[in-house]
Structure 1
Amino acid sequence: MDGPSNVLLLFIALLSFRSTLEETDSNEVTTLRLLQSQWKGLTWTGVDPCGSKWVGVTCKGSHVADLLLSTMGLQGGLPSEIDQLTGLQRLDLSYNQGLNGPIPSSLGNLKSLRELVLSGCNFNGRIPAELGNLQHLTILDVSSNKLGGEIPPELGNLLNIYLFDIANNQLTGTLPPQLKNLVTAGHLVLDQNRLTGQIPSTVGLLKKLTVLRLDSNELDGPLPNISNLKNLGDMHVSNNKLTGSIPDLSGLTNLQYLDLSNNSFDVSNFPDWFSSLELVTTIMMEHVNLTGPFPSNALNLPQLEAMKLAKNSINGIPSTDIQVSPTLQLLDLEDNELADNKIVEAFVEKLPPNVTVKLMGNPACAEGSSLSNDVPSPCNPAQNIPPYVTPMKDCGKDIKCKKHMQVDPRICKCAMPFEGMFVFRAPSFHNLDNASRFRSLEESLLQNLNLTDGSIYILCCMSFDTDNYLNINVRIFPPPGTNYFHRSEIVKLGYILSIQTPNPLGSYYFLPRWDHDFFEVSEGSKGLSTGAVIGIAAAGAAVALLILALVFYAFKQKKIIAKAKKTSRSFGASLGLASGEYSGDALKLKGARWFSLEELKQATNKFSSENEIGSGGYGKVYKGMLAVGAQMVAIKRAGQESRQGGAEFKTEIELLSRVHHKNLVGLIGFCLEEGERILVYEYMPNGSVRDNLSARTGIQLDWRKRIWIALGSARGLTYLHDHANPPIIHRDVKSSNILLDEHLNAKVADFGISKLLAAIDTEAGGHITSQIKGTMGYLDPEYFMTQQLSQKSDVYSYGVVLLEILTARQPIERGKHLVREVKTEIERGGVNALRRHELLDPVLRDSPVSPTVFESFVCLALRCTEDAATDRPKMSDVVKELESIVESMGPNNQYDDTDMDAGRGVKTMGIAHPLVGGSSSDTFDYSGGYMMLPPIVEPK
């Protein structure tokens, strides 16, 4: 019996040993191995996912329950076979910007799934309708991807959903009526898409909503009455095309943040129902056609912190009986019609000294008024107070850390922190120097992330972006005694931050910045049994055999891979390989390619002086001939003093590469190698407008050509202001930045470089100088008081260019200002007297142009150069007027600009309708027939 008994015991022991090594369902092991093979950056080791505690994997029984891989630097597509993880309850792949391709419809087969978080990746295609099958889903977050198409009506079947976030994509179509079924939803977040149609009144059925975000779409029609949403705390419908009257929202008794800005509501007085919103902290109603007086009790809401009512027609203000909430910090009444400076001054004096009041752009702030004399004042704001940063212990300058490590101020030793940026969607405050507010953020993060005191540092420099979102950069250090986070700890941090952990500053999303490899530490290596060791050894032997089998193949592929890397290198990899400054971020370029330094040396004869065609604040510009395709290009090589860090260069390239319009100089590519920062643009053979007006090119610009150059450049600027995402303020519009191609088509240049140089100077000296932001003679009058530029500053500079086109003179010539000279002459003899004056370019004096056309052009230039920004037109209005001028010139003066050749004959044709034909959203020819309402803020 001993023999059989021993055999039986051995058999049982072997079964137990096998179960120890293989806890996970075999099909799911195969699926996870498939994911590992397809996702670059995923390092899983061990025999069994559940038994070996693979990073990001948790199990229930033999099935994978959670796959949490946020911020892991993963690259590749999401395989449809993921539906083989039949017990999956939580899937978080957020902020892996290397993940791309479509979201597989097979996710709809994961019947147990409760949380699906795919935000901050680069997934494209449509949202699968099959996701509507996930009856247990409570969190759906696919925000900040490149998803298009319409919202699937099937998503209305998510009857247990709480967080529904599909924001910041490219979704189109109307809001499906089936969304009314999401009765459990607390967050309905659909902002920053291209949604059209009306907001259905059935939104009012979602009574558990606490956050409603429909802003930055193209929704129209009236805003439905949703006063029965008693739990709603945040409501954002700004930057749409809503019309009709502003409904009574007094029933929203828990409302804290309201933003109705930039819509086309009916003209109305300030609503009296605001007095019932006792919990509201922020009211944003900019550009909503408010008129009449500002009520005396509007500021008495007990929790009110900020009220922004700019760009309306408010024309009265109380000077007595003003009631002000003790929590008020900001009142913005810019660009209204407040005219009585004495009453306005009395109103301001009644406000507590801690309240920031903004009144710029009102008649009461006109030059010479008592309000305009003082600095600082509501009409002349003071320089910004530096925002809060976490105080850090001074560890001296002697500590030198390795690459990717920073000095931990707690212990004055090197450590590898986890860094990222919080983007708060609706902060209720304006001042960024309030230490107690941001200390509460630090304390909240320490508690929610279970970190030790002093681990979290708010860095310089927090700011509001173009969407009025607050961006805060943070650095999180590992616990004392360790100098890096384990992978599992990073996954935990990423997951907690991706699911909207409650925060004292409101709703947010988090953008991790992890640009290097994780240190990998085995967390399950202690206490391994002999059997486990044997199993691991056996698995190691198998892996070794597999490696030997692959050696020959890898060796054979080495040259192919090297060649591929050289000719088609991703932007993030280029940054990491070339400079060590930045890596791991996904490429977000449209059409821009990477050039090797050797290619550009060959194209420019090693950057010889013979190829140099210009220079500026960014560096030198060279003409070059690319070997491939024999294409002539312009190559801008940054000077040593202008070579900013990889992250800033990456941001600049992404900005330039996604801006496409026929009247903007196109970016072809870039080079980031051996410390170089080089931009490659399309070549403009006919130089700049300034070159041609100065007769340097030998081309004579007649009246017709000048009108079309003016129109082309106006269209380019309008695209930057109204259709770029984010909107772009050029900040250095001048005749030398408007270039002409072989057909004399105008193309605006350097709209990114001025921003880039400003960023460099800010880093170097803590301020932005007038030398970088704009050029003397082109700067609008407000700049010298505020040191700030806006879209209307671009309009002023463009108006100076129009006067250059008329006169061929420099903006400042022999100490005389062109704008002042032209205005003085017109005041003396009228507009048409200018046709015979010496100021006018002699080439145009005998030009056959009608007095009406000439007067219209001159008056447009004068309106663009008005002293007050509010009196200047928008660039979109400038385009309309120039198009009218061209039409009034008759068919003999209208032509196809592809035949606008230097000094030769031209064909004639009418002006094509701007939105008819094969134009895409990236390349259409702008016209006033299409209108958007972007915020007048510089892109971050």
Structure 2
Amino acid sequence: MTGNITQQLKIVNLLNNHIVEVNITQSYNQTLVIVFSPICRLVGNPVCLDPEFSNKFFCSLQQANLVPYTTSVTKCGSTSCSSDQSLDPATCSCAYPYTGRMTFRAPSFADPSDNATFQLLETSFWKGLALLPGAVFLSDVHFSSEEYLNVRVRLFPSTGTSFNLSEQIRIGSEISNQTYKAPPIFGPYYFIADPYAPFAGGSGKSQMSKGAMAGTAVACGLLMFVLIYVAIFALLQKKRTTQSSGLGNPFASWGAAQKDSGGAPQLKGARFFSFDELKNCTKNFSEDHEIGSGGYGKVYKGTIADGTSVAIKRAEYGSKQGAVEFKTEIELLSRVHHRNLVSLIGFCYEQGEQMLVYEYVSNGTLRENLQARGIYLDWKKRLRIALGSARGLAYLHELADPPIIHRDVKSTNILLDDNLKAKVADFGLSKLVADTEKGHVSTQVKGTLGYLDPEYYMTQQLSEKSDVYSFGVVMLELLSARLPISKGTYIVREFRVAIDPNDHDYYGLQGIIDPAIHDAAKSTGFRRFVQLAMECVEEAASRRPTMGSVVKEIETMIHNEGLSSSASSVIDFEHAGPYIGTGGVTGSNSSSSGSGRISEQLSHPERRH
């Protein structure tokens, strides 16, 4: 490299090439090596094997001596804020920012100190999210070991000192659903929000006198001493009881094998399978019995001793579920029994294995069949699938004790059996709502992109209405046979923009709905189904219906379509009412006449949290 080298050039990355000789000119040495040392990277080239160069800076993986970018607030002077507030660079006043970490997975630059680049990002934030000019603070800019760019982001309210709930929902929705677009130079991103301070306990702190604080401290100390004594005594008693109860209990070492597992699962109906039992019924987990695979592991079809066909979900050693999640799925599936929920027959937890044994569901996932890889689904079949799925979720929300929030409702977690009866599956992320007065659970955001409730994403407060939002997205999939996010478009936004009440034929959706159900678009039931789906995906949870209401609405549509409980193909409607017909844990498909496919979701291919 010769001639004039611009001062903007700070890193020359020539890793793992075939460079055999280096001739450092004076201009190169002065411009790059001295001023921006060390920046040239030649690791992995033959020249670095030469003793003359092996100890040089360019033959080591040192990072460039660059100062990461941080938004400047020096113009605001020395104003100080409370611990849970920050200085707004736009107004020089203290406020509660909306904060989080943004990770860019493929930035097209390698300099974390370039002011112009990050000022471009700041501008895109306040313009794209309709904030005040400059109401963005970027900090903690760095590249990870995977070459991902991490940026700490603070967004400040345009009025007042904090965002209200609707503003939070709007911003969270635009970021989480990729409506906000970062400058192309930054590439694709994902964003993890922090709990918003005013909704996470607020900033108000009670004032106590020093005497009261001292008295409280002494009392707490005495109470803590008593509690520790009682806890130690109880643990010793429990240990003696466990030792005297024998070693026949298969859960005796559950807590010892996995940290924070919380003890053996509380089972109601599911049974324990030994590793040898499952090994035998799958012929040593042979490829002939393999029916699915994904990020979690592999799924095998087997036949247990009583002749029941089962799907055995086996975790791989490198990608096992956490003990808590594994135990949660066992406990939840073993105690909920409904015809529209996948039945858990048992599990295996020995010899380092984590396996779940489900009833075998032969016709795959709803997504598989909507994507033209399975059974043709006409409008009436889709209504039945929607009703069955809604009934399963309504049972979890309203009849389970305590209520259960699924937290990962999506088309790959809805399975279809031989009769196209819908069954909701995969409870690994589910949460119990034990505090019925509170009505929500504060929890880390988990789920699948495209189905996430924007209010849950913003506040980290999970409720039954979060499942309602996700189910609304599934309803839109039933209408369009499209993925929730595809080619930069979001299905909820596409429907919201396209709907035209004045279009009496297609409701404005002719270009969106699945051609397979075009004829149904002119029916009254179709229009009401679309309206119900859009009610489910309202951004504010308070404006969404309950799952029980959704069930009743779809039942009315079914009735208006002329379907009745006596129709031979409508297995779901043998009984009246939305939740009747719960059954025990049985394998519903004991023959091998099915298609031989099992749901991809049994292997968790899309879970990321």
Q: TM-score range by the shorter chain?
A: 0.5 to 0.7
Alpha-carbon displacement from aligned partner over 1:754-812 (angstroms, at most 9, x marks no partner): 669xxxxxxxxxx94x6xx1212212333443344432221111111111111111112
How many residues are paired up?
A: 392
CA contact (8 A) 2:366 2:414 kept: yes
2:330 and 2:423 mapped to 1: Cα distance?
18
CA shift for structure 1 position 359? 6.1
Distance (Å, rounded) in 2 between the aligned partners of 1:737 and 1:670: 19
Correspondence 1:437-836 to 2 at 5 A: 444=219, 447=222, 476=228, 493-494=233-234, 516-517=239-240, 565=248, 569=249, 572-573=251-252, 575=254, 579=257, 588-617=266-295, 619-643=296-320, 649-697=326-374, 699-753=375-429, 768=444, 773-827=446-500, 830=503, 832-834=505-507
For 2:212 and 2:524, locate their aligned partners in 1 and report how far apart those are by CA, in whole Å: 60
- Residues 1:437 and 1:814: Cα distance change in structure 2 (over 3 Å): farther
User: Residue 620 of structure 1 contacts residue 638 of structure 1 at CA under 8 Å; is this kept in 2?
Assistant: yes
Matches for 1:106-255 after TM superposition, within 5 Å: none
- Cross-structure match for 1:181: none
Q: CA deviation at 1:841?
A: 1.1
Equivalent in 903, 906, 912 of residue 576 of structure 2:
912
Alpha-carbon displacement from aligned partner over 1:388-419 (angstroms, at most 9, x marks no partner) = xxxxxxxxxxxxxxxxxxxxxxxxxxxxxxxx
2:165 to 340, 357, 360: 360
**1:640, distance to aligned residue in structure 2 (A):** 3.4
- Measured in 1, the distance between the counterparts of 2:273 and 2:242 equals 32
Indicate how the Cα distance of structure 1 residues 594 and 895 shifts in structure 2: closer, same or farther if over 3 A, else same: same
Query: SS of 1:636's equivalent?
Result: strand
Q: Aligned letter for 1:733?
A: V
SS of the aligned residue for 1:625 comes to: strand
Gaps of 5+ in 1: 1-344, 350-356, 369-378, 387-428, 457-475, 479-488, 495-511, 521-560, 757-766, 901-905, 924-940
One-letter identity of the residue aligned with 2:528: S
Amino acid at match of 1:825: A
1:61 aligned residue = none
| Cα separation, 1, equivalents of 2:218 and 2:303 | 56
CA distance in 1: counterparts of 2:213 and 2:328, whole angstroms: 27
Q: Unaligned stretches of 5+ in structure 2? A: 1-157, 172-194, 433-442, 587-609
Q: How far does residue 445 in structure 1 lie from its aligned partner after superposition?
A: 7.0
Tell me the residue number matched to 1:935: none
Cα separation, partners in 2 of 1:447 and 1:821, compared to 1, 3 Å: closer
Displacement of 1:719 in angstroms is 1.4
Alignment partners' CA distance in 2, 1:858 and 1:825: 12
Of 505, 508, 513, 1:840 maps to 513
- The structure 1 residue matched to 2:552, chosen from 856, 880, 897, is 880
SS at 1:800's partner residue? helix
Q: CA deviation at 1:636?
A: 1.9
In 2: Cα distance, 1:878 partner to 1:726 partner: 21
Q: Distance in 1 between matches of 2:574 and 2:466?
A: 32
SS in 2 for 1:833: coil
Q: Which amino acid aligns with 1:709?
A: I
Contact 2:338 2:583 in 1 (8 A): no
Q: How far apart are residue 912 of structure 1 and its match?
A: 1.6
SS at match of 1:624: strand
Aligned mates of 2:200, 2:406 — CA distance in 1: 22
Inter-CA distance 888–642: structure 2 relative to 1 (3 Å threshold): same
Structure 2 length as normaliser, TM-score? 0.54
Question: Percent identity among equivalent residues?
Answer: 47
Structure 1 residue 889: Cα displacement: 1.5
Aligned mates of 1:907, 1:839 — CA distance in 2: 30
Q: Which has the higher contact order (CA 8 A, sep 6+)?
A: 2
Matches within 5 A, 1:253-272: none
Q: 1:514 to 1:685 in 2, by over 3 A?
A: farther
Q: Deviations over 1:596-620 (max 9, x none)?
A: 1112222333334443333455x12
SS of the equivalent of 1:747 reads strand
The CA deviation string for residues 483-526 of structure 1, in whole angstroms up to 9 with x for no partner, is xxxxxx879x55xxxxxxxxxxxxxxxxx797644799xxxxxx
| Distance in 2, Cα, partners of 1:781 & 1:584 | 31
What secondary structure is seen at the aligned counterpart in 2 of 1:607? coil
1:596 and 1:437 map into 2 onto residues whose CA distance is: 58
* Of 515, 518, 524, the match for 1:852: 524
CA gap 1:920/1:677 in 2 versus in 1, 3 angstroms: closer
User: Does the residue aligned with 2:454 lie in a helix, a strand or coil?
Assistant: coil
The whole-number CA distance in structure 2 between the counterparts of 1:430 and 1:722 is 37
814 and 366 in structure 1: CA distance in 2 versus 1, 3 angstrom threshold = closer
